[in-house]
Amino acid sequence: MSDTTSNTAEKLTTSDGKPLKASLAKALRRQKMRALLLIAPLLLFVLISFAAPIVDMLFRSVQNEIVPETLPRTVTALESWDPASDQLPDEFVFAALRDDLIIAAERKQHTRLGSRLNYEMTGMSSLFRKTGRRVDDFGEIFTEQFEDLNETWVEPATWVSLMASEDWISAQAEWAAAGDDDVAEPAFEVSEAAKEALPRTAEIYAGFADVIQTEDNDSPTEEEPWNPVYAALYDDLIANPDAAADYSGATAELLSTAAAAVPEFEATTAREEFIDADEDWGSLDVWQTLYRFKGAYTAGYYLAALDAQMTADGIEMVPEDQRIYLLLFMRTLVLSVVITFSCLILGYPVAFLLSHLPLRSANLLMILVLLPFWTSLLVRTSAWKVLLQQQGVINDILVYIGLVSDSGRLALINNATGTVIAMTHILLPFMILPLYSVMKTISPSYVRAAKSLGATDWTAFWRIYFPQTVPGIGAGAVLVFILSIGYYITPELVGGTSGIFISNRIAYHISSSLNWGLAAALGTLLLVVVLLCFVIYDKLVGIDNVKLG
């Protein structure tokens, strides 16, 4: 029978002779595509304004690319160093840091790097700033001795013939002959001979040439190399005295003479120059910090957000007098719950009254409920500062009626009390509106029926009326709790030191300290806390029971 039905369906056709099944499927696809096009603008808006910022926040909370991008040679050299040892890195690591730092200083990147590492170890910012001002003098002793050996060593043309590839020399000559200032000079290219014979010199000179071309808009053919380039050349010639074998002509002769002379040069090490610039470079803690945060991604921001830190011995909690974020998280949760219950206690009777009044009176009172929305949040919060201060209106009234003495005025501002009072007032409408919308749909016949069966007013309310308002309570509680946990303007103005929320620290790190990584980590943890509370709420109350009437 089923086979017969299937065959019959397949034989059915539309007026134009096409199979009915295929036509129906095509029509269904067309409807789905039309629906998708209708919601596409909203979907795109949500992705751009909501999803994309969250993804960016999550990425910033683990991002650490500034360290490997600014110190690529140092990061590579540190791979061979054991941070658990009691020894500083070897000379090769110091030399790599010298080469990286001179380039970073010329690009004005060393201060940003220092600021990033200063989040992990106090003093790193000033260390990099101070050393960045002196790094261009590192290796000057070698520059002077190469110049004394032959004056041509300070000529840009000498270095071009030593380092540049033949293709670049030809391309640069054509560019110079054209004389077109609107066309950029060809990007510098190091020769294979230089890479083979003088690897460290070739690498730092390539960095020098790139900075000259991109930052200074100049040409390597017109600029003498940095002092660290001469220091690298000294190291290469000591390591490879036969470097001249890869060259020919005057360049080979010049290099051969230098290779024979460098063993007699007065020398200094990169380590000595760094420690002379700042003795903190001789501290093991500085290098261990560099080692721990040399990767492109880090958990350091999340550890800091949890009052912990990464040390040579593993993850440890920071000293007790520096632990603030866990306290702020706990305070934010506790005060948000208190504010939610305060709004419920104050808002439930108001919503009950509104739902039982005649429509005309209810609408008039509803205007009073919505009135705070017509006033600036900043104005409402500032008004509470006037009301709550010790010489304010509320304390003056309490003193006048004799409830408190003039010397015993209540501290209602710049503490958690002020935060709870001000935020309860601000968020109260968000509790009243869902309650009112649900209460308005409850038929009064239920309560009358309970009373007719002998129930008291309290029993009828508690057993019959109140359970029907639970969906409104759930909706209002969710709204108030979610809003209060992310507030920062009101706690900032009336909370003082004991009434601020974690969101205040997030705002501080975004706008003042510019520690966006830590702000992103705190924001991510706050998002996780909210989601956990939402899951717990769903288990206890049930999100399906939340209604807006």
Write down the domain spans for the chain.
2-60, 69-136+270-292, 140-264, 325-545
Distance CA 108, CA 129 (A): 10
Retrieve residue 344's tokens. Answer: 């419920």
Q: Which amino acid is at 320?
A: E
- Is residue 192 classed exposed, middle or buried when 0-12, 13-18 and 19+ CB atoms within 10 A define those classes? exposed
| First CA to last CA distance, the chain | 50
Structure tokens belonging to residue 215:
């930052």
**Can you tell me the distance from the alpha carbon of 168 to that of 213, in angstroms, rounded to the nearest whole number?**
14
| Cβ neighbours around 101 below 10 Å, total | 27
User: Which CATH architecture does the domain made up of 325-545 adopt?
Assistant: Orthogonal Bundle (1.10)
Integer Rg of the chain from CA: 37
pLDDT value at residue 1: 47
pLDDT (tens, 9 = 90+) of the chain, 549 residues, equals: 445 545 554 567 766 667 777 777 888 888 888 888 888 888 888 888 888 888 888 888 998 999 999 999 999 999 999 988 889 999 999 999 999 999 999 999 999 999 999 988 889 999 999 999 999 999 999 999 999 999 999 999 999 999 999 999 999 999 988 887 788 899 999 999 999 999 999 999 999 999 999 998 899 999 999 999 999 999 999 999 999 888 888 889 999 999 999 999 999 999 999 999 999 999 999 999 999 999 999 888 999 999 998 877 788 888 888 889 999 999 999 999 999 999 999 999 999 999 988 888 888 888 888 888 888 888 888 889 888 888 888 888 989 898 888 888 888 888 999 999 999 999 999 999 999 999 998 888 888 898 888 889 899 989 999 999 988 898 899 889 999 998 888 898 888 888 889 999 999 998 888 888 999 999 999 989 888 888 887 777 666 666 555
Element (H, E) at 465: none
Classify the phi-psi angles of 402: left when phi > 0, otherwise alpha if psi is within -120 to 50, otherwise beta. left
Helix axes 91-106, 124-134, angle to 10 degrees: 80
User: What distance in Å separates the CA atoms of residue 234 and residue 491, rounded to the nearest whole number?
Assistant: 61
Cα–Cα dist 78/61, whole Å: 24
pLDDT tens column, 186-229:
999 999 999 999 999 999 999 999 999 999 889 999 999 999 99
Residues whose CB falls within 8 Å of the CB of residue 64, separated by 6 or more in sequence, listed in order: 116, 293, 295, 296, 297, 298, 300, 517
Token pair 């270095």 is at which residue? 159
DSSP string over 301-321: HHHHHTTEEEETTEEEEPPGG
For residue 409, with 0-12 CB atoms within 10 Å meaning exposed, 13-18 middle and 19 or more buried, which class applies? middle
Phi and psi at residue 542, to the nearest 5°:
95, 115
CA distance to 170, 199, 224, 247, 387, per residue, from 192 (Å): 16, 10, 22, 11, 78
Alpha helices in 240-309 (DSSP H): 249-261, 270-277, 284-292, 300-305
* Helix, strand, coil fractions of the chain, as percent rounded to 5: 75, 5, 25
Give the whole-angstrom CA distance, residue 212 versus residue 219.
Answer: 6
Q: How far apart are CA 174 and CA 185, in angstroms?
A: 10
Q: Residue 410 burial by CB count (10 A; 0-12/13-18/19+): exposed, middle or buried?
A: middle
* Per-residue confidence (pLDDT) for residue 14, from 0 to 100: 65
Q: Facing residues of 297 across strands?
A: 63
Q: What is the pTM of this model?
A: 0.79
